[in-house]
Structure 1
Amino acid sequence: MFARIARALFGTSNDRALKRLQAQVPQVNALEAATAALSDEALQGRTAEFRQKLANGASLDDLLPEAFATVREAAKRVLGLRHFDVQLIGGMVLHEGKIAEMKTGEGKTLVATLPVYLNALSGKGVHVVTVNDYLAKRDAEWMGRLYRFLGLTTGVIVHGLTDEERREAYAADVTYGTNNEFGFDYLRDNMKYRLEEMVQRDFNFAIVDEVDSILIDEARTPLIISGPSEDSSDLYRRVDAVVKLLVEDKSTYDKDEKQRTANLTDQGSETVEERLREAGMLEEGNLYDFHNVTLVHHVNQSLRAHVLFARDVDYIVRDDKVVIIDEFTGRMMEGRRYSDGLHQALEAKEHVTVQPENQTLASITFQNYFRLYPKLAGMTGTAATEADEFAEIYKLEVVEIPTNVPVARKDQDDEVYRSAREKYEAVISLIDEARTRGQPVLVGTTSIEKSELISGLLKSRKIPHNVLNARYHEQEAAIIAQAGRPGAVTIATNMAGRGTDIQLGGNIEMLARQEAGGLGEGPEFEAAIARHKPEVEAGRARAKEAGGLFVIGTERHESRRIDNQLRGRSGRQGDPGASHFFLSLEDDLMRIFGSDRMGGMLQKLGLKEGEAIVHPWINKALEKAQKKVEARNFDTRKNLLKYDDVMNDQRREVYAQRKAFMQAPEVAETVAEMRRECIGGLVDAAIPENAYPEQWDLEGLEAKVRDQLGLELPVIAWGKEEGIDETQVRERIEAAAEQHYAAKAANIGPDLMRMVEKSLLLQIFDQVWKEHLLSLDHLRQGIGLRAYGQRDPLNEYKSEAFGLFNTMLSDLRERVTSVLMRIELQPNQPPPAPEPVRVMDMRHPEPAMAGAEMALADGGGFAPSPSSGLPPLRSEAVDPADPTTWGRTPRNAPCPCGSGKKFKHCHGRA
């Protein structure tokens, strides 16, 4: 009650923010006349003036009115567009590092030019992040004309560019690209071996377009770069054959659609065991014995693939591949793969080629990637429903910007039918009725399957229409741009096509661009505009007269935002429009989250065949169900972030240390310190504190010195000397090691030795980090079980991850010391054949990338990159056939015998 009174007296926080920003608009408007009077040369000269003012100590805020007035005037001259006052407010919100919620059609692409220009004046670069390559290229070309006019450079990052092209694009004042490309470039940069090979520069300012889609919807899964591990594709196929027969009997498994889980019942476990034995896959013990843990994992993933994932809903099969469908946009996520063997289980289920599993080499969540920017802003049509999450995770405030012209769209109450058949009959009748009067119709569905079902019903009625879903991803911009033509019927999955306006009468620029071969300027483009203008204007008048764009939702989505996105496509810039959602008790949201008694209640109320119930209370009940799902999804993302924050602290430390190694002229002192610490660790293990000489393990110490340092020292004899202590033993080993290392360095040459040290240090650092990531993956998968022992899984994870990190650093010191003490160079031998290229997989989506620049060589040594300029290296006296020459091999390193397996799975097996 008090909150309502306070809002009535003082307005909401949003009202107060708008009031403050609106006070600055007259300052910009006051400069318009003087700016318009400038010549092109004088207007372009403003950029140099502003940069000089910044150099003299002015702040960006001081320059804001003049800079905004300059961009507005340049946009009028170059693009033929003038920023509205509300767009100036949107630009101010973005400049302050907040989220601007602006309705569809309010010109967010143009709004971004204001803060982009202002912040690019600093010369530190501005990133504009879009949801797909098409929008990145379109916006970079379209708005690039404006930036080039004002003397700024523009770059665009899309899939398929070389490192040199990426470096050039990142060096530009303004860089457009997708969230995936920016994220993967960050990870790849931190796998490079020389500073000059890195493509990104220091982060400054980013504006995220469709910020809810990128920072909320896509934040549930991390970006992962991975390399291939052992191939077990045959096992997936054999397990799939067993599980496929099993799921025909529903009593063998329990399924929870709400939590997206599936588990075998007792009967199911017995049946699976029996069939696995028959197939020769379960040779001893029962299914849940420790040595059968891999088999259990494969069975569980195959079960999930069969009962929780549906073809044409969660994924499609295309070109011998299983391609994931984004549940929020309906787009294909080309290259993205489910983790933990689930994708392989789906490939086995659909009888396509089963790709090998991968091991993580580098990963980051979008939450942690975008928090690297000192200043972050975003824009979208739907952010208010997720304002709490933006504030908590990203410290971003959401400001709702009023529309330039009041919204004239009529939003009708939902209609609820008993069955899906009745619902679709009502939808088809309404589509036919609207089309007949010349009203354009946009039909929203939640999956490909549903969109094709409606398409089939429309075909049976001979109603012409366009289908926009993941199968026709390439055509989405062209299809959606013409969805406003009179009588047009367009079916869209989860409002794919965001970023392209639906203009009543059709999009004249898109038509002209198609005729001009994709060009957005030039004589051909202008001629096509003139040719289509009368036709489009006549179509606009007719569509307006018929009631504007009619949005029909065939189902409520789990998230209110997705419904609002669909609804928001109508009523652009004050145009007339309407929206109407149709539901049935068989819809997923109603079935999973609605009341089981609702169907019986509707029957008691006397609801007849074909009749619907319509009431505002229904809308409120559905909104409550959607809020529950949103809260659950928020918890999922928050939980993911809590665990990733643990890894993020370690990742930042590793990447910073790695960069410091690359920046340092030499790492000789670092290597020497590692050698001293390694020797200290060996001595401490053999000679515990306050131990008597007879308790010292000098035999073990002598063996370790020989194995790890390659030194033959009489450690046992030293122990017989009168009065010798732990410090003297340590000093003698250190002195011998220093002498041996100095002799090796003198033989090789100091310059080449410094080069070898840095190269090997980076290679081994990468190897131990990769193994550490694998350990964290395994820890993360099983940590939830600690809750059964009344222990907090997150605290357990933090504690054990810290221990693993310290173990990794210790392992790094040991490996670096061992390899550098034992290597010898072979400068006179011809270089060996190049290492086979290791393909790296990038997930979320993942364009394939080749080029592990330094790979672990056989025998525990390291092979330098072909571009490193180093001669081949090898470990001294390591004979694959003689285990006594192998020394101390780390458990996760490749076995020196050359089998290709890890040491712990080969000769190191206990």
Structure 2
Amino acid sequence: MLGVLKEFWSKKTQDRLIKKLYEEYVVPINALESDIARLSDAELRAKTDQFRERLQAGETLDDLLREAFAVVREAAKRVVGMRHFDVQIMGAVVLHQGKIAEMQTGEGKTLVATMPAYLNALTGRGVHIVTVNDYLAKRDRFWMGPIYEFLGLSVGLIQHDSSREERKKAYSCDITYGTNTEFGFDYLRDNMAVRREDIVQRELHYAIIDEVDSILIDEARTPLIISGPAEESTEIYYKIDRVVRRLRQGEHFDIEEKTKAVWLTEEGVREVEKLLHVDNLYEDTGKGTLEHLVRQALRAHHLYRKDVDYVVKNGEVIIVDEFTGRLMHGRRYSDGLHQAIEAKEKLQVKEENQTLASISYQNYFRMYEKICGMTGTAKTEEEEFIFTYGMPVVVIPTNKPLRRTNLQDVIYRTEEEKFEAVVEEIEKLHRQGRPVLVGTVSIEKSERLSRMLHKKGIPHQVLNAKNHEKEAEIIAQAGQRGAVTISTNMAGRGTDIVLGEGVAELGGLHVIGTERHESRRIDNQLRGRAGRQGDPGSSQFFLSLEDDLLRLFGSERIANIMDRFGVERGVPIEHPLVTRMIESAQKKVESYHFGLRKTLLRYDDIMNKQREVIYSQRRMVLFADSVRPFVLQMMEEVVEEILGAYADEKLYPEEWDWEGLDRRLYYLFGWSLRIAEAERPSFDRDKLRELILEKLKTTYQEKVQSVGEDVFREIERYVLLRVVDTHWKDHLHNMDHLREGIGLRAVGQRDPFVEYQLEAFDMFQDMIARIREDTLRYLLRIRVVDKTGGSQSSQVAKASALRSSSQGKEVKSGVSSRITSATSAFPKEGRKKVGRNDPCPCGSGLKYKYCCGKK
């Protein structure tokens, strides 16, 4: 009852909103149409400059909206021969307001975006129009771009193979088309740049996201990651792969398909230790524990299927997007899973990658000042859109009444019976000349169905990740007379299916779903391919008790119903109760996945705060005329940290660790104070601070003079950026490991999230301290070599800086060895026990747990 009331009130609210959109925006925009139509091309184009002047004078975008939208409508009529419908204006207003417009397939979402894109581009701060693939970005740029260009705006396009110069030019345009992946990766690359001129993006101002549910929910499960190779052996993956092939489910391990989880039994742990010839399966390999790698190998063998979750192409494992069926080139499973699959498929295991930069789609798009989206299916996920992005969903009515008939699901006992019934249905409709679009959940299923149709002699097209390049071409022909098209999930999404001549009279396009998806939204996307712009059409799902969704959620109840009615082989059951049970299962799965994404986002938000600090500081360094003020501030902070470690203000000066202080100063700066024992009582912390700072600044100034002020300014900037990048990369690696094991804290009755917050904060503070120290250490030890024998040049200085920073490990190693030698001279007796969070006694300045106490 509560659900019915909620739906009722939701519909009433929706109706009021649509009425308001019509009266407040559509009516006045339509009233302007005749006046705007009388303008010449030059006068219409001049409106752009007038709007910009009005913005400068204090008017807002909302003040300009009605007239600006009327101008865009007129420009579209003249340039591309398309006039915005009233419902498209409503959708455009919703997008400008930073909401999601749910509009059915074929309602012209591409044209809808031109109005808010033009309006928001008037600010001169840039508008990004985000699509799901390069093809759609290019198509829309050259299809809609002439409208903006006619009105005096510049339009750019980002493609996967665009050069840095092309990207920079595209981002400088008023409106830029591109994919979510390219926008996100460009952001990460910009924040790894070591030269100002290498940065391509401007500020993140306003984004219109096409197929918003696909990008912000489906693809948001996987973060964007830029990786670099780590020089470690991959033989361990082959070794573990050979072992897991000998393990038996139920005896050595158990799996949970719903969550794709796997765990070893006690017997399994003993068996693996015996086969690997190790004493402890939980020993860290540098890639994680052996137990972790074994679990990943078991997941690869028992939970990830070839031609379903991934394909093997040209000796590579390529992930298949479970929602769109597209190949995800360049994306790899993380945490050793991809390597485990490569070993399983007997391919060359690619070397481990180390994360250099990463960001989730959620946190990338939340950095925009304003985002909005459009799709045919978003209402079922509205709670998540509001929670994560603050974007409510507004359902825009269709321009013409929807004439699609959604038939009741039919369900069979076995998958074999189901596919036989699907082929019979296709054969019957094909004889009538009616086009059929069949949706499958995997490449494997699409190829199975294709083989069955070949045996029947039914001509058809198969669209899956293996022939992704022909996607738009194949799907565009799906509405022609007699056409039979098999498509994995929503491949071809974004391409309009226009009915061929005489097809409407036959009943239009018929869509067959061969399996219900975990998400109702994906099912609705498939249904939505039929019945565009008032066309007739129909849809129906054919299911079996062996389908994943039914097998995992509720097949027993349906099987009991079939038994009760004495259903024979090949005879389906068709009942509203079955459909309700399936939708109930889908809601449970949707809720489960939403919970997972909420949890992941909570953790990623902590990482994101740290990322924002690092990236904003990095930008300041990159664009500052001089980073000397940063360096001088670092000096004071490092000296304060040294005093905190060796000159405890609660102790008398003669009790301070003067020997440790000298070792630390020598390690960092190459000199020590060597204060005589008799002089020590005369010091206080302020006097000691002034002495160290004065000597440090003097040493630093001598270094600057020896190199030259102008050259050293560039060296300071370069070294600071390189040190930040090196430590940030290591920090990302450490955070990955922390996240992986933090769940175990729950065993000790501690909240894993709170523990993660605390440790992440500690680790971040330690990283910042190491950045300060290493920056000063490298700058004070840098040597500029003049290879020409003449005066030192900036080029030579930069090269030398590069050598110094890239050889930082060698420098650190050399100095550390001297410190180790010095400390080893002290007798072990009498040393107090070092706490995990105390400064390491070796003098490195790190906490003991991150230095000599590291396990």
**TM-score past 0.5 threshold:** yes
Partner of 1:319: 314
Matched AA of 2:171: Y
- Aligned with 2:666 (options 683, 706, 715): 706
User: Which moves more between the two structures, 178-187 or 814-823?
Assistant: 814-823
Cα displacement (A) at 1:907: 11
State TM-score, norm by structure 1.
0.87
Please tell me whether the aligned partners of residues 106 and 572 of structure 1 are also in contact (alpha carbons under 8 angstroms).
yes
Query: Superposed, which structure 2 residues align to 1:681-830 within 5 Å?
Result: 681-715=641-675, 717=676, 720-721=679-680, 723-828=682-787
Cα displacement (A) at 1:656: 1.1
The 2-side partners of 1:672 and 1:881 are apart by: 23
C-alpha distance after superposition, 1:61-97 (max 9, x if no partner): 1222221111111111111111111111111111111
The 1-side partners of 2:783 and 2:740 are apart by: 41
Q: Given the alignment of the two structures, is residue 287 of structure 1 paired with residue 247 of structure 2, yes or no?
A: no
Cα displacement (A) at 1:726: 3.2
Matched AA of 1:328: F
User: Which moves more between the two structures, 315-324 or 812-821?
Assistant: 812-821
C-alpha distance after superposition, 1:424-447 (max 9, x if no partner): 111111101111111100001111
Please tell me whether the aligned partners of residues 516 and 523 of structure 2 are also in contact (alpha carbons under 8 angstroms).
yes
Cα displacement (A) at 1:738: 1.8
Q: Given the alignment of the two structures, is residue 883 of structure 1 paired with residue 817 of structure 2, yes or no?
A: yes
User: Which moves more between the two structures, 648-657 or 124-133?
Assistant: 648-657
The answer to which structure, 1 or 2, has the higher relative contact order (CA under 8 A, 6+ apart) is 1
In structure 2, the CA distance between the partners of 1:459 and 1:877, relative to structure 1 (3 Å rule), is closer
In structure 2, the CA distance between the partners of 1:695 and 1:722, relative to structure 1 (3 Å rule), is closer
Cα displacement (A) at 1:881: 11
Partner of 1:846: none
Matched AA of 2:493: R
- Aligned with 2:601 (options 626, 630, 641): 641
Please tell me whether the aligned partners of residues 80 and 147 of structure 2 are also in contact (alpha carbons under 8 angstroms).
yes
Please tell me whether the aligned partners of residues 698 and 719 of structure 1 are also in contact (alpha carbons under 8 angstroms).
no
The 1-side partners of 2:9 and 2:322 are apart by: 42
Give ranges in structure 1 of 5+ residues lacking alignment. 506-538, 832-852, 864-872, 892-902
Please tell me whether the aligned partners of residues 283 and 290 of structure 2 are also in contact (alpha carbons under 8 angstroms).
no
For the aligned residue pairs, the C-alpha RMSD in angstroms reads 2.7
Cα displacement (A) at 1:830: 8.3
In structure 2, the CA distance between the partners of 1:381 and 1:7, relative to structure 1 (3 Å rule), is closer
C-alpha distance after superposition, 1:192-236 (max 9, x if no partner): 123332101112111000000000111111111111113232111
- Aligned with 2:619 (options 635, 659, 667): 659
User: Which moves more between the two structures, 337-346 or 756-765?
Assistant: 756-765
Cα displacement (A) at 1:252: 2.4
- Aligned with 1:547 (options 500, 507, 511): 507
The 2-side partners of 1:454 and 1:371 are apart by: 42
Q: Name the SS of the counterpart of 2:556 in structure 1.
A: coil
The 2-side partners of 1:877 and 1:389 are apart by: 50
| Count of equivalent residues | 823
Cα displacement (A) at 1:241: 1.5
Please tell me whether the aligned partners of residues 819 and 875 of structure 1 are also in contact (alpha carbons under 8 angstroms).
no
Partner of 2:403: 408
In structure 2, the CA distance between the partners of 1:788 and 1:874, relative to structure 1 (3 Å rule), is closer
Cα displacement (A) at 1:152: 1.1
In structure 2, the CA distance between the partners of 1:254 and 1:756, relative to structure 1 (3 Å rule), is same
C-alpha distance after superposition, 1:624-666 (max 9, x if no partner): 0000000011011111100010011111111111111122211
Q: Given the alignment of the two structures, is residue 588 of structure 1 paired with residue 531 of structure 2, yes or no?
A: no
Partner of 2:794: none
In structure 2, the CA distance between the partners of 1:41 and 1:774, relative to structure 1 (3 Å rule), is same
Cα displacement (A) at 1:7: 8.3
Cα displacement (A) at 1:408: 0.5
Partner of 1:16: 16
Cα displacement (A) at 1:796: 0.9
The 1-side partners of 2:9 and 2:853 are apart by: 75
In structure 2, the CA distance between the partners of 1:879 and 1:104, relative to structure 1 (3 Å rule), is closer
The 1-side partners of 2:280 and 2:624 are apart by: 56
The 2-side partners of 1:228 and 1:560 are apart by: 40
C-alpha distance after superposition, 1:173-205 (max 9, x if no partner): 110000000001011111112333210111211
User: Which moves more between the two structures, 137-146 or 669-678?
Assistant: 669-678
Q: Name the SS of the counterpart of 1:606 in structure 2.
A: coil
The 2-side partners of 1:800 and 1:905 are apart by: 12
Cα displacement (A) at 1:829: 5.7
Q: Given the alignment of the two structures, is residue 398 of structure 1 paired with residue 385 of structure 2, yes or no?
A: no
In structure 2, the CA distance between the partners of 1:590 and 1:567, relative to structure 1 (3 Å rule), is same
Query: Superposed, which structure 2 residues align to 1:37-52 within 5 Å?
Result: 37-52=38-53
In structure 2, the CA distance between the partners of 1:615 and 1:132, relative to structure 1 (3 Å rule), is same
Q: Given the alignment of the two structures, is residue 862 of structure 1 paired with residue 821 of structure 2, yes or no?
A: no
Partner of 2:147: 146
The 2-side partners of 1:888 and 1:803 are apart by: 29
In structure 2, the CA distance between the partners of 1:689 and 1:123, relative to structure 1 (3 Å rule), is same
User: Which moves more between the two structures, 188-197 or 625-634?
Assistant: 188-197
In structure 2, the CA distance between the partners of 1:879 and 1:601, relative to structure 1 (3 Å rule), is closer
In structure 2, the CA distance between the partners of 1:479 and 1:830, relative to structure 1 (3 Å rule), is farther
Matched AA of 1:263: W
- Aligned with 2:539 (options 566, 579, 582): 579
Partner of 1:71: 72
Cα displacement (A) at 1:694: 4.2
Partner of 1:251: 251
Query: Superposed, which structure 2 residues align to 1:234-383 within 5 Å?
Result: 234-247=235-248, 251-277=251-277, 282=278, 285-288=279-282, 294-383=289-378
Q: Name the SS of the counterpart of 1:410 in structure 2.
A: strand
The 1-side partners of 2:671 and 2:428 are apart by: 90
Cα displacement (A) at 1:813: 1.4
State TM-score, norm by structure 2.
0.92
Cα displacement (A) at 1:342: 0.4
The 2-side partners of 1:856 and 1:302 are apart by: 43
- Aligned with 1:606 (options 563, 566, 569): 566
Matched AA of 1:22: Y
Q: Given the alignment of the two structures, is residue 419 of structure 1 paired with residue 414 of structure 2, yes or no?
A: yes
Q: Percent identity among equivalent residues? A: 53
Please tell me whether the aligned partners of residues 226 and 361 of structure 1 are also in contact (alpha carbons under 8 angstroms).
yes
Please tell me whether the aligned partners of residues 284 and 290 of structure 2 are also in contact (alpha carbons under 8 angstroms).
no
Cα displacement (A) at 1:468: 0.6
